[in-house]
Amino acid sequence: MSDFFAKIKARLFVQFSVLFAILQGIVLVTVSLLHIAMGTAKPWQPLIIYILLELLVYFLFIFLIKYYLNKSLGSQEAVSKVLFRNTRNIINNISHEWRTPLNAIMGFTDQLYHSETDSKKKEALNAITQNSRRLFIMSKKLIDFSSIETGLYKIDPQYQSVNNLLMNLVNKFDEAARMKNIQIEQINNIPGDMRIYFDFHAVFEILSMIMENSVKFTFTGSVTIFAEYKRKTLRFAVADTGIGIDDQKKQIVLELYRQGNANLDREFEGIGLGLTIASKLVELMKGSLRISDNKPQGTVVTVEIKCESRQKNPAMADEILESAKEGLNAEQKEILRHAAEELGDSVKVFNSEKIREIGFKIKESDPRLENYGEKLVETARYYDEAGLAALVQQMLEDSGS
């Protein structure tokens, strides 16, 4: 790459040198001819003409240099973009190809681990599983980063519960924290019945990346996640009592493939993608991410996202679908019963995507069941857990179950 652009620069230097020599030659010939034509009566006239022509040559020369340099830089930028895009596609493809064999390795290793009785062999199998999981997580991060950079990652906001988000985060890191003898704590100042319009998956990924770092770099004390909603701003803060980040390195850790310690003999594993992905996702949502010190020790990472909110729709849980209760035939009742059974798991662990999918399926199945489908779609949209439980119960009753 560097040789390629070095050759371009060398060729341009030769071309400009030849061009300058030609222009100077033209000026000298022109002035000489004028001097001969005018004679010596007015010797200052050829001198003035010479100076004017020299100025013209220099301006023309500067213009040509700028033109060719801009053209060269444009081609350089185009080549850089092509190389970057190809490299990114290669990384994306390799990351996808990693996942299939890694899933097989982790699956078979897990089976061997549970059937093995020898402690040394179990230790070796556990090491295989842990390192395979590391590669799997790394490949997922590379795929996520590639999706963000290529513009394929789409933000999909819906009205969601922050309570569920925090609960899932605590559950995800609880085991890792217990192994290091540190506490995972949460402070949630958002009312339980408030639904906020944000992308649940994207925010979960952002906070997961931040908490992963906090747990990794904390050895005593705690990792606390704080949430609040004020003035149409959803704010999260992850505070730890870990080793902290030097002021001059606070921006470095947000750069691609960078850690606070970039040496090859660094103590902590990782390729330095986590906070980069978190920062990119926050940018996609037009939010902000900043890193500050947690006095007396540790780090605080704060994420702020502008979004709307609303209280849960009280009518959703209470309204009875009287119009559809009477006159359902056996086939319609069977559709309702089957849908209610499918929704059973979602009552325990709210799955808005699955609820919405079943709602659309019911709407399309029979005009008499359209109200049920619309209710399910609304329930998913507002993340209404109580409404879902009531609706599933009603569907079971209306189906005769």
The three-state secondary structure class of 335 is: helix
pTM above 0.75, yes or no: no
Tally of CA atoms within 13 A in the half-sphere of 84 that contains its CB: 9
Q: Which helix (H) or strand (E) holds 37?
A: helix 2-38
Q: Identify the CATH class of 1-152.
A: mainly alpha
Question: If you search the block for the tokens 């922050």, which residue do you land on?
Answer: 162
Q: What's the whole-number mean pLDDT along residues 32-47?
A: 53
Q: What are the residue ranges of CATH 3.30.565.10 in the chain?
A: 158-310
Q: What is the DSSP letter of 245?
A: -
Q: What homologous superfamily is domain 158-310 in, according to CATH?
A: Histidine kinase-like ATPase, C-terminal domain (3.30.565.10)
Query: What is the band of 320 on the pLDDT scale with cuts at 50, 70, 90?
Result: very low
User: What span, in angstroms and rounded, lies between the C-alpha atoms of 211 and 204?
Assistant: 10
For residue 36, the model assigns a pLDDT of 57
> 187-199, pLDDT tens digit by residue?
999 987 788 889 8
Q: Has residue 147 got a pLDDT over 70?
A: yes
Q: What are the residue ranges of CATH 1.10.287.130 in the chain?
A: 1-152
What are the residues facing 291 on neighbouring strands? Answer: 301
Query: What is the band of 315 on the pLDDT scale with cuts at 50, 70, 90?
Result: very low
Which range has the top average pLDDT, 76-80, 346-350, 370-374?
370-374
Terminal-to-terminal C-alpha distance of the chain: 71
Q: What's the whole-number mean pLDDT along residues 267-280?
A: 69
For residue 46, the model assigns a pLDDT of 53
Q: What's the whole-number mean pLDDT along residues 282-305?
A: 90
> 14-30, pLDDT tens digit by residue?
555 555 556 556 655 66
For residue 297, the model assigns a pLDDT of 84
Q: How far is CA 165 from CA 15, 39, 141, in A?
A: 63, 93, 20
For residue 206, the model assigns a pLDDT of 92
Compute the C-alpha angle 327/328/330, nearest 5°: 130
Compute the C-alpha angle 274/275/279, nearest 5°: 125
Q: What is the DSSP letter of 390?
A: H
For residue 210, the model assigns a pLDDT of 92
For residue 321, the model assigns a pLDDT of 47
Q: What is the DSSP letter of 330?
A: H
How many residues belong to the chain?
Answer: 401
